[in-house]
């Protein structure tokens, strides 16, 4: 979390400083119109900057994954930037239309448009060309703003079906390209020769490349492989479905704790699932476990059948238990047990000598699921603490510290509801755990 927070604020603060350096000295006369013009430029810079970085992240570049320590973290930053772009774009729209509204209400007189003077000949020619495009850029930018509001809202409102979100989210690439044209025309031409203009141009270039990749469906293409379902296990009482898939030879392998995007149905599109198996190149078999938590996963057990063809894209993520610690504590809440199942299978095949305690916190657990977990735990030589809510109550930091006196020497690996993980993290850090020793999978793509 620290890296994505630092990256988020560094982007906004950096763009703010660059805009301020470009805008100084401020106009000698500060009135409603000059202040409005400054705020329009500032909000426009922040909006296109945030949206550009969000677009670049959408390409799932490996270097971004490494910098932010996992695609799950990247998607969290992507969400923050989308919200920021939306809020700042609304402010930009208000600044742009405010004078028109004030004039129509009789609150102020229509301002006189003044042509800038003093440009070098080459900048004057460029300014003349850009001025000729202002009307088109303003009109397209306004309609692109309306489209962005609808599409970003569809991404954020979880009640909107995932299928609709997935099928429409790519349209943001078209909206972004229109907003790039809007920004190029309306950003003050003098800024393009300043550090601000250079940075904004680079961000736009990265965003445009990503938009083209998205529209041509190239994102993740090299990581996609085909496969067939070889077995399906259903546990109706827990709404859990396990699918085993044999993949084509192109799959590069994966580490326990990683996830992949899986397309069981082309009409539905791809969904992220944590991999619940260790990799064995001899069998090329991979397992995914899903829980009925939404409209798609509720229907999934009825749709899966042995022999069905699927597409798998990945692997992604860095929740891979690699921290150099000989003592680890794992906490898997509900379906958050999945990455730990993969690690248990890996440790059973390749013991690493670590001392591990696994907490599995669930409202209830079916006998067959309990037996499968007990088998994996025994094979990996891991200590299991099965905590059923109605029987054992909720796990807290205080209970964990009481149950495991040597907790401070361990690293903590958590996968489950975000609020649960945040509460544990806050408690343990308050009692001496290093923040870097708490690893949390932010497995939430919306």
Q: How far apart are CA 374 and CA 369, in angstroms?
A: 9
**Percent of the chain beyond pLDDT 90?**
68
Q: Give the single-character DSSP code of 275.
A: B
Count, in order, helices (H) and strands (E) of the chain: 15, 11
Quickly tell me which residue has 């460029």 as its tokens.
126
To the nearest whole number, what is the mean pLDDT of the chain?
Answer: 90
* Residue 391 pLDDT > 80: yes
**Percent of the chain beyond pLDDT 70?**
96
Task: Output the pLDDT for position 118.
Answer: 47
CATH 2.60.40.10, applies to 221-316 = no
Specify the pTM.
Answer: 0.85
Quick one: which of 69, 154, 33 has its CA closest to 438?
A: 69
Burial 216-243 (b: 16+ CB within 10 A, else e): eeebeeebbbebebbeeeebeebbbbbb
| pLDDT level of residue 446 (50, 70, 90 thresholds) | low
* Residue 275 pLDDT > 50: yes
Topology annotation, domain 2-215:
1.20.120
240-247 sheet: strands from edge to edge? 271-274, 259-263, 309-316, 224-235, 240-247, 285-291
Q: What is the mean pLDDT of residues 407-432?
A: 95
The reply to whether omega before 272 is within 30° of 0 (cis) is no
Quick one: which of 122, 116, 136, 139 has its CA closest to 188?
A: 116
| pLDDT level of residue 428 (50, 70, 90 thresholds) | very high
**pLDDT, tens only, 342-363:** 999 999 999 989 999 999 999 9
Token pair for residue 362?
A: 């669930």
92 Cβ contact partners less than 8 Å away, ≥ 6 residues apart = 40, 43, 44, 47, 145
Q: 71 and 320 in contact (C-beta within 8 Å)?
A: no
| pLDDT level of residue 155 (50, 70, 90 thresholds) | confident
Q: How far apart are CA 146 and CA 153, in angstroms?
A: 11
Task: Output the pLDDT for position 443.
Answer: 67
Task: Output the pLDDT for position 48.
Answer: 97
How many CB atoms are located within 10 Å of the residue 77 CB? 21
Q: Give the single-character DSSP code of 75.
A: H
Quickly tell me which residue has 């044209």 as its tokens.
181
Topology annotation, domain 327-441:
Rossmann fold (3.40.50)
Q: What is the mean pLDDT of residues 80-99?
A: 92
Quick one: which of 58, 51, 43, 44 has its CA closest to 81?
A: 51
**pLDDT, tens only, 96-148:** 888 788 778 777 777 666 555 445 555 667 778 888 888 899 999 999 999 99
Query: Domain boundaries in the chain?
Result: 2-215, 221-316, 327-441
Cross-strand partners of 226: 311
């Amino acid at each position: 979390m620290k890296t994505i927070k630092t990256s988020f604020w560094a982007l906004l603060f950096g763009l703010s400083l660059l805009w301020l350096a470009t805008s100084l000295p401020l106009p000698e006369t500060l009135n409603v119109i000059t202040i409005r013009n400054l705020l329009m430029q500032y909000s426009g810079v922040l909006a296109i900057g945030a949206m550009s970085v969000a677009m670049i992240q959408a390409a799932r570049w490996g270097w971004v994954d490494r910098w932010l320590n996992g695609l799950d973290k990247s998607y969290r930053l992507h969400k923050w930037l989308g919200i920021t772009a939306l809020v700042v774009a609304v402010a930009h729209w208000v600044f742009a239309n405010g004078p028109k509204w004030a004039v129509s209400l009789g609150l102020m007189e229509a301002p006189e448009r003044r042509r800038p003077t003093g440009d070098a000949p080459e900048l004057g020619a460029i300014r003349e060309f850009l001025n000729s495009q202002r009307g088109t850029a303003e009109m397209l930018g306004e309609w692109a703003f309306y489209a962005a509001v609808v599409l970003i809202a569809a991404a954020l409102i979880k009640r909107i079906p995932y299928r609709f979100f997935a099928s429409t989210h790519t349209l943001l690439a078209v909206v972004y390209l229109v907003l790039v044209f809007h920004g190029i025309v309306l950003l003050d031409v003098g800024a393009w020769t300043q550090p601000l203009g250079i940075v904004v141009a680079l961000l736009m270039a990265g965003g445009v490349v990503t938009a083209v990749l998205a529209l041509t469906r190239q994102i993740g293409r090299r990581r996609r492989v085909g496969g067939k379902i070889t077995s399906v296990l259903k546990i109706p009482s827990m709404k859990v479905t396990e699918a085993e898939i044999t993949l084509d030879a192109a799959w590069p392998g994966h580490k326990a704790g990683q996830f992949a995007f899986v397309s069981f149905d082309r009409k539905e599109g791809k969904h992220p699932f944590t991999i619940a198996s260790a990799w064995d190149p001899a069998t090329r078999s991979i397992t995914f476990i899903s829980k009925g938590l939404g409209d798609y996963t509720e229907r999934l057990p009825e749709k899966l059948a042995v022999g069905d063809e699927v597409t798998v894209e990945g692997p992604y993520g860095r929740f891979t238990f690699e921290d150099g610690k000989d003592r680890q504590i794992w906490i898997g809440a509900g379906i958050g047990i999945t990455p730990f199942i993969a690690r248990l299978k890996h440790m059973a095949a390749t013991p690493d000598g670590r001392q591990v305690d696994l907490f599995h916190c669930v409202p209830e657990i079916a006998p067959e699921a309990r037996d499968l977990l007990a088998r994996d735990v025994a094979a990996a030589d891991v200590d299991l603490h099965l905590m059923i809510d109605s029987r054992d109550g909720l796990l807290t930091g205080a209970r964990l510290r009481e149950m495991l006196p040597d907790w401070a020497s361990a690293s903590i690996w958590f996968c489950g509801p975000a609020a649960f993980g945040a509460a544990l993290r806050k408690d343990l850090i308050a009692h001496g755990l290093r923040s870097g020793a708490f690893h949390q999978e932010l497995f939430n793509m919306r």
